Structure 1
Amino acid sequence: IEVYPMELKLCQYGDRTIVAKRNFSKGDTIADIEEDGRKLFEIATEEPIKLWNAYLPSSLEQLFKAKTVEDSALQPGQLIIFETKKDGKWTHQTSGANSQNGNHTSGVTTQGLCGLNNLGNTCFMNSALQCLSNVPAMTNYFKSNTYKKELNKTNPLGMGGKLAQAYAQLIQSIWSGDQSSFAPREFKMKVSQFAPRFSGYQQHDSQELFSFLVDGLHEDLNRISKKPYIEMKEADGRPDDLVAQESWDNHRRRNDSIIVDTLHGLFRSKVDCPECPRISVTFDPFCFLSLPLPMKRQRTMDCWFVPVGFDDKICKYKVTVAKSGCIRDLFGAVTELQGVPETSTRMVATDVYNCRFHKIFKPREPITSIYEKDYIYLFEAPPNMAMLPAYMRHMSTSTSAHLFGQPFLIPVNLTNTTYRELYKGVLGATWRYINDSKMISEVRKFLLEDIDVDDVKDDDSFEEISAEVFKLFTLKVVNSFGTQVIRQLENNDETLSLSGISKSQKIEKLWKGNPFLVQPVNILGSSFIQGHNLPVDTYIAVDWTKHAYDNYLERYNWGDIADSHSSVNSAGVKKPSTGVQLRDCMKLFTTEEKLDKDDAWYCSHCKKHQQATKKFDLWMLPPVLVIHLKRFSYTRYSRDKLDTLVHFPTRDLDLSDFIVNPQKTSWPKGQRCYNLIAVSNHYGGLGGGHYTAYAKNHIDKKWHYFDDSSVSLSAEDRVVTKAAYMLVYQRQDL
């Protein structure tokens, strides 16, 4: 009983907009689907009909009545097209006798230069297959049918020889020389059957498919019918060469196939206990060299420092901080450039976007919270002062306000901030953007002279200095977006408590003695907050009058009114990235590392798990060396793809410096050096992108570029790119 039948979409060739959904069992035949479709579309029984699998919008593959849904590799949601003759002719024209199977002929081609049709996000599989197909030893083994003598159909770890048979058929098709491309549907079906993770048409990893394929082929072709039990022995101080040979012999006693002959090498693993003299040395076989890419451990970013002194200028810095650091490290980097002790200046970091604070960071937040294109402003915070966010708004009508310019954090006293002090603090932060010389002079005098308005309100000389100053803007408490007014504050001598809001208190009448009013509003700046006290998360809107906005202010480019520190100029010219060398990746791979707590090693001498140090070295390399560049980085907090350009040689790769086998000195050059024969490429980011391959054909000795069904001539100097993901090298003596 099939609990969840497969849903397929049915439509007619002439009109694909009308689609019917029907459920079928995997055991149903294509004839069953045809019968259902004839009834659905009222097609006479005697009328000729063809069924097409539209696995891609532009690609149709004919379905045959005798095959089942499973045998045809149909997937849930696939579109099945019913075609009938029009004017006595079939509408869909195919090219070549084999096109009904997804194959396309174009006369005789060089063997191996055959593209693989994309069955729907199967470019990862096509890339891996083209790389393995261009390993001469493997291809000749299957082309000559030698594999038939070594099929192991009883191996419980294998696939009954079916995967090897499917791959052999694939190789025969690719290297037949009589077709330019074909659809590897039968092979895809076998892979999906034995590895359900590759079923369907989602994007996967070419190296993961490559790994599954060579492991599966090995078990299907393992010459060992019954694997003996072998007890692992400790090195116990024995010579490395003796232990290595013993490990390799034991491996071959259980694993003996064309895969082992061609792709398997030997590591030396050395683990050193930190508490006792015990050193564990083991030798393990490998099929891949998975190399980490050297990552930049630091990042450079721009930030703007806003001093608390109204007469001090905002300054732009370019700082370098550790990627693993926190926001506090950013403060330290700025104070270091300022030449002052880190503890001498308190700061608050903010991300400014669209004239408002997108985020106000906590000092211990990770530096990864800041993205590449964020505008980071660091506000100096005096001791024992709270920082009150303030947004700039201009009044277009009596009721409408629009954000503009640069938001600020205004220092306020936690215990005795008054309405007037808040107004003066806002004016001190924004006066640098006033462009009228007379107003600049008046504001400066007001800020520098500690004048009590009540004491001199009848003095004409003071009115001449300050009358216009008090008509520049009004203040309101708003929400964090600066769009909704929450409440208004009256100008009096009462202290603005930061402990909370009294919701019962109504908005009081505006005080008309001064030409501005401080009004508390919500975080959006669009509605008044009831009450008189200011909460800790209060946001202030600075509503500039139309007259002040039109006549006194620098309306645009507030962010440009800042000095640039020498760090900005010195780092202004970006050096082109030169990438890293493959040897750098090898050095990182063979570097001694300390194990994490979650990966602790059990020391048999100490009788407990230890955070030991571990080191990998090469002992023996295989005839065909596959190198996997670990471009996909996964951590507990983030995922990323590294687009670092890795410079790898196309000829004469010599890794002798990383081989600890003392016999290497007697190896001739042909046994030490490798030439590149294939590259799997990945373009794009995580969870998607596109895979292609470069490969050197061993018949015409030329490089070719494989992009699904397309095959084109390339050149050796084109294969080294940022997209290189998996490299296949062949030893020179082969």
Structure 2
Amino acid sequence: MDDSFSSEDDDHLFDLDYHPYARKRPLSSRLDRDEHDETDDEETNRQKLYLVPYRWWKETQRSVADQIGGILYTVLSNDNYADSQIVLELRKEESSGDRVKAEEGVSGRAYALVNEALWLQTLKWHNDSKASENDARNHIVAEDQSQEVFLLQIRLSFSPETNSLLVKISLKDNTVNLYQRACCIFSSESELLQIWDFSGQTSQFVMNEIINLPNISSGKPGKEGELALAFGELLRKLWAPGAVPVAPRMFKCKLAKFAPQFSGYNQHDSQEFLAFLLDGLHEDLNRVKCKPYIEAKDAEGCPDEEVADEYWRNHLARNDSIIVDVCQGQYRSTLVCPVCKKVSVTFDPFMYVTLPLPSTTMRTMTLTVFSTDGIMLPTPFTIAVPKCGRLKDLIDTLSVACSLRNDETLLVAEIYKNQIFRLLDEPSDSLALIRDDDKLVAYRLPKVSETYPLVVFLHQQVERSYSFGVVASNWKPFGVPLVARIQDLSSGSEIRNQFLKLLCPFLMPVEDVVNDYDGNETGNTVNENSKMEDIVSPLVSDSDVGSDSGAENDFRLNTDFKFYLINKLEPLEIKMNKPVSISRFTKKFDVSVHWSEKMMEKYDTCLLSSLPEVFKPQLFTRRPQESISLNKCLEGFLQEEPLGPDDMWYCPRCKKPRQANKKLDLWRLPEILVIHLKRFSYNRFFKNKLETFVDFPIHDLNLSNYISHIDSQLSNCYQLYAISNHYGGMGGGHYTAFVDHGHSRWFEFDDDKVFAVSEDRIKSSAAYVLFYRRVREA
């Protein structure tokens, strides 16, 4: 038999009373439930249906019967004595609408199914018509009829494959005597059995089954619809009368069979579970048995409305289920190539909207700004930029933070081991390439000097080491490099003057320098001179010392700072009164500056050496709770942003992967809108849960301002009806739920405890998944 009878719990139980004289049976429907759940009142108030011989019904009703429309079913009987059950398959005849034509083929085993009111009216008319003939005889017949009535219990279900009703009479549900009498009545060895339904109950039952139990197909991930059947059984138990908690063991077992990640007793993300469940139910309930291959057409130049409708039709051609009907909407995705400006527009379905919170879309970065005007000291700035943003976003935000003038520009560089590791000069570079432990500086440079060569000053100081009583000295880099653009390179003094200008903000107060010299000059002169004699610089040969220092001023300058042009071969000392030997095509060159000990004391080198990291997480610092509206989250979700470096888009015009700009728009909204608040963030070192309080609307979520395509026939207003809450952190937590039971009667579900809550309590920072349903606009 059909799989619809594979589980008795999936059938609907009915009671059947049978009488051999009038061939009548009252049929009263009730859902399958335990015996202790059924009360005497329910039994009494149950609506009854009667099965009587059709010709007797027609004769007794006469003109009344002609006024009532009916549906004719052909009954196929299958006597399975091995399984001790009778299965009747009721198939609707196409000629049911033509009463006269249908009656021509009515067999001797035809019955009429009527409700209790019509049955009593017909029986009364029948008894009254025979009363004048023989009152005593009719009295005896009435007694015989009441004595011959017996009860049969049947199971009724709907088969969507054959579009027919299935009736099962089992020995398990009835006594042996009553089951044997039913076998005689519905034996398949007799002539064809037909049933006229004048009650309208069968068509209503079929319609309810079609609506509530969509067609189950075999597909991924639900094999033969087992996941949908298990979920349906769980829902039936949850909605059954009574207040008994339900343990979904069978449902969990079926779920783990198709998704091993949900097996065991580990904790899982409720949104991930919901996504899998909806996808699994969709595959189980998909009405499309064979998914056609549909090749995407080039829609360039076509109106978005036409393209969106074509994408949606193609989607429905492969995906047609109640999940799609209720839960799926449509995005418009726009990609723009940053190089060739190619625009690609696609329309994709969605089942839920994941809204990143501001803390998950932004990152804080600290940079130190160095001025080249010789006035301002280095200043660190902490700014917030998009995580998937570009260097342009960083420069624009930092320009506002440091009050950059219109005639200035910023040059961003990464510092590593007291050198410029790289210059960040490409505005389209991704900020994702910048790590939290990097050290960044931004140099303020005048725009008019952008065509001049960039000079990078690298600092070096003397470092002494003692080994077996011998003092060894060498030059060691320190501090943050300083940069400047120099137009005139006619002599080395231009480089020196520019360097001294950059050092002006680092000068120590005069009184501090004088005090240091007063206390140390007398006793340490001989020692300092002897130490200076021990200094051996690998960058300066003996023949260079003093060779071009005829003037006293030149000798003093050489003892303060010495400048060396760094090239591929060996460092070349820069003479103050000679031109710098570089090519006129050079855009950038490095200059090594050797500091004397006197200059190390004259300038505050600590300011040059302290450089903060881009971001340093505070392990034990608890930030104050943030608050944001759901509308702000929606705006952040729909704003344009560049793709990450690991999610490049292949541009069909450039024939290369590009870090395109992506823009999402809501195009088609579902009946049930599921909003997932992205509370969990991850990086290389930390996993964090955001406790941001999201202020979401309960009764009036209007998405008219966020949808790109307005359908005048559909409302864009939604009302909240359920919330999934998560309490705890990344290591472990607890889920609860708030559910609106209608008319703003909210209940909290916490494991096996359910209690009423006021509406003003359902908003909290634990809200994780929000469930909205479409309502009419006010």
User: Comparing both structures, which one devotes a greater share of its residues to helix?
Assistant: 2
- If asked which structure has higher relative contact order (CA below 8 Å, sep 6+), I would say 1
TM-score by length of 2: 0.43
* Larger of the two Rg values belongs to structure: 2
